[in-house]
Amino acid sequence: MGFAKEDLFKPRHSTPTGMPEDDVTVPGLGTFHVRGLNRLEAMHVQATDNPAERERRAIALAVIGPFTLTEPEVRRWQVACVAGEMTDLAEKITALSGMADGADKDAMRDFEESESLEFRVLPGAETQDDGSDSSGGNE
């Protein structure tokens, strides 16, 4: 399956944001519409060792309805809410962004179940010549 260079820059999803989107209900508040983060945004979120700051960055970037939030607004919410109030929201953003625990396992399972995909191993630095004749025969 071939592709053009321009395909690298096209949205992967037919949503308005070009990212996966979903709704998350926060009990006692209501339903938020969120999107997954793109690669650059995810790297920005992960660039800090502070978990509260990571959460603020992710929520500020990903909440797209019924309103948007800034990082200072998310911080105010963090201070006002009980510890678990944002958990479902943060986990949904992580999952939509392909960063949830097991996302790599899900991708591998999808790969293994697909007959149209193949995995090629390219020679690495540890590749050595075993000294055998490579003329094509199996002796």
Rounded CA gap, 130 and 138, in Å? 14
Q: pLDDT (tens digit, 9 = 90+) per residue, 59-76?
A: 999 999 999 999 999 999
Give pTM, 2 decimals: 0.70
Residues whose CB falls within 8 Å of the CB of residue 20, separated by 6 or more in sequence, listed in order:
13, 35, 36, 96
**pLDDT in tens for each of the 139 residues of the chain?**
688 999 899 888 889 899 999 999 999 999 999 999 999 999 999 999 999 999 999 999 999 999 999 999 999 999 999 999 999 999 999 999 999 876 545 555 555 565 655 545 555 666 566 666 655 555 4
Please give the Cα distance from 42 to 64 (Å, whole number). 16
Angle at 69 between CA 90 and CA 46, to 5 degrees: 45
User: Is the preceding peptide bond at 66 cis, omega within 30 degrees of 0?
Assistant: yes
For the chain, the structural domain boundaries read 23-100
